[in-house]
Amino acid sequence: MPYISNKSFHKLSVIVPAYRQKKTIVRDVKRLEKTLKNIRYPYEIIVVVDGYGDGTYKSIRKIASPDIKILVYQKNQGKGHAVRLGMTKATGDYIAFIDAGMEIDPNGISILLEHLEWYNADIIVGSKRHPASIVRYPLGRRFLSRVYQLLVFLLFRLNVRDTQAGIKIFKRKVLQKMLPRLVVKRYAFDLEMLAVAYHLGFRRIYEAPIKLKYNFNDLTHASTLKTVYAILWDTLAIFYRLYILRFYQSRRRAAKIPSLASNSWLFFKKQIH
């Protein structure tokens, strides 16, 4: 078990966006909680259910606790929207997110934390292409990933080999400046986060290894093509907003992250009744 010093008493918030996960979400969160109990930091898990109607909320609400908070809204808005909402409610000094489904081993959280402190980083990105990563996913997906990351480098000059893996950790100060400027709700929200943070001067962005095993049952040719098209569209839109419109530079979009308080619970209660 990696040792994480608690000398600064930092708190860790972990956001878990969940959509159509009613069969596995309880198991996933319990597995994550078991991991977090070993990192020697105070922590909170914020599960954001991306749409009330799929049964995920009814499953996960059974294990809500002071350390496991649940947010839900009526209609599916996209993973990016869910992650951003969870982050605005987080109270931690370090704020991470990890995909539900646990295709990415949650023990990676401790590795990302070690990297964050060792490098005094602004952001640590879990990367499929890190030399120490253990990954199992289709050859076609590997090819698409490499082509996409080449495009990302050409457009944004980000020195990150994998922007899309569903595990990342941020210092709170980064999110305070970055979050209010973000607009992508779905496929390329990871890229928007990294590109905007870099553009705002947070250049200490590093990669960490992950252990990943894709669920091949969820992959279809049609869904893959649809996803590729959507990611490309979002990517070009980010480039347009960043370099043509100068959208992300607006001072009026800057604001601090509010603390998680009782109003967040009222938020989801109002949405589901």
pLDDT in tens, 137-169: 778 788 888 999 999 999 999 999 999 999 999
Q: Is position 196 within any domain?
A: yes
Chain mean position to CA 15: 7
Q: Which domain holds residue 208?
A: 12-256
Number of domains in the chain: 1
User: Which residue did the predictor score with more confidence, 215 or 132?
Assistant: 132
Q: What is the pLDDT of residue 219?
A: 53
List of E strands, 128-174: 134-136, 167-171
Q: Is position 64 within any domain?
A: yes
Q: What is the pLDDT of residue 40?
A: 82
Q: Is position 19 within any domain?
A: yes
Of 82, 267, 110, whose CA–CA distance to 190 is shortest?
A: 82
Q: Is position 267 within any domain?
A: no
Q: What are phi and psi of 20, to 5 degrees?
A: 55, 50
CATH number of residue 210's parent domain: 3.90.550.10
- 8 A C-beta contact, residue 80 and residue 250: no
Q: What is the pLDDT of residue 140?
A: 79
What is the Cα–Cα distance from 15 to 48, expressed in whole angstroms?
Answer: 7
Q: Is position 1 within any domain?
A: no
Of 96, 116, 87, 106, whose CA–CA distance to 4 is shortest?
A: 116
151-162 CB burial, b ≥16 within 10 A, e <16: ebeebbebebbb
